[in-house]
Copies of this chain bind each other. A is one copy, B any other.
């Protein structure tokens, strides 16, 4: 074998979902790709190829011993989107192994869905459609009492990572006054992006539209508690599109139900939502975790992985996937989604 060896272990994703035919061909031109019918890939196969592998694509457990047995390894590419705590990341960093995530592939999909949900709440799209189906709908201004514009609105973004940035870009044409809270970023970074850095409290008190886009870390679980949610201005629009773990979900649902603000969510404390969950009959606009995992995101994963592998194999730094940062990777807590191989369907009794 003269081509570099890559170990492909994408479980819980399916190879066919992240590489289309053309991408798969390009990958095989770049490298000898080791796969296995079993998913995840069996330990024996991992052990067999560790000494040869230049890159691992997947969520394979990599304790320090395995890393020590992989002298050629230059990149570990998570294709799930959340870093698992099953790798000795510090050993990777010490060795100069790039630890990369395909999370950026979901940024635009989640941002567009977040905007879709906010616009729906702003204009009552879903409820108006239902009213026409039920009959007795109100036309024109008679039905628009609560309708608001995003254009010119004060928009608050909580968490300015990939998704926050993608959403900010989508808002370019809205002349919105964007204020951002992200405790991991200096104010100057936000000002350079023409946004106003604000405290969480200011953001909650003064935003007309709030996007909650922060991932879960060991430090921020449930940071949007009852007290914080009660700061939200009456009749605001609140979209939760990152992880249920950052919020007191019951308080969130209760306040929405009470009409304190209008809210939409793409995530739930347990997924699928229990068949008898009262959330199913609530005033929340409900999206069953569909913000990210769409066909365009899958195509983007394939492109990003191929682009960065191409660079890495040429001895250049990767530029498209998200590199893990030594300082934060051990703090990340966003859970992977539950299953990718077969449809996740809510069962209702």
Give me the interface of A with B, judged by CB distance under 8 Å.
Answer: 17, 90, 93-96, 108-109, 112-113, 115-117, 119-120, 122-126, 128-145, 147-151, 169-175, 184-186, 188-189, 192, 194, 271-273, 275, 280-281, 285-290, 292-296, 298, 303-304, 307-308, 310-312, 315-317, 319-320, 325-328, 337, 340, 342-348
Contact = CB atoms under 8 A, between A and B. Distances in A.
Contact of A125 (B150, B271, B285, B316): B285
Contacts of A95: 94
A281, A298, A316 — most chain B CB neighbours (10 Å): A316
Given A137-B345, A344-B140, A113 B123 contact: yes
Contact of A319 (B96, B119, B189, B288): B189
Contacts of A194: 175
Contacts of A136: 345-348
Given A294-B144, A320-B186, A328-B316, A129 B132 contact: no
Given A120-B116, A188-B320, A296-B149, A346 B135 contact: yes
Contacts of A290: 123-124, 128, 139-140, 143-144, 147
B319 A186 contact: yes
Given A139-B288, A295-B144, A125 B128 contact: no
A112 B120 CA distance: 10
A294 B141 contact: yes
B293 A141 contact: yes
A326 B320 contact: no
A343 B119 CA distance: 23
8 contacts: A112-B122, A126-B126, A128-B286, A134-B348, A142-B342, A147-B294, A148-B295, A185-B319
Contact of A189 (B120, B175, B307): B307
Contacts of A303: 188
A284 B319 CA distance: 36
Given A117-B125, A145-B295, A189-B307, A137 B346 contact: yes
Contacts of A132: 273, 280, 286-288, 346
A289 B320 contact: no
A79 B281 CA distance: 41
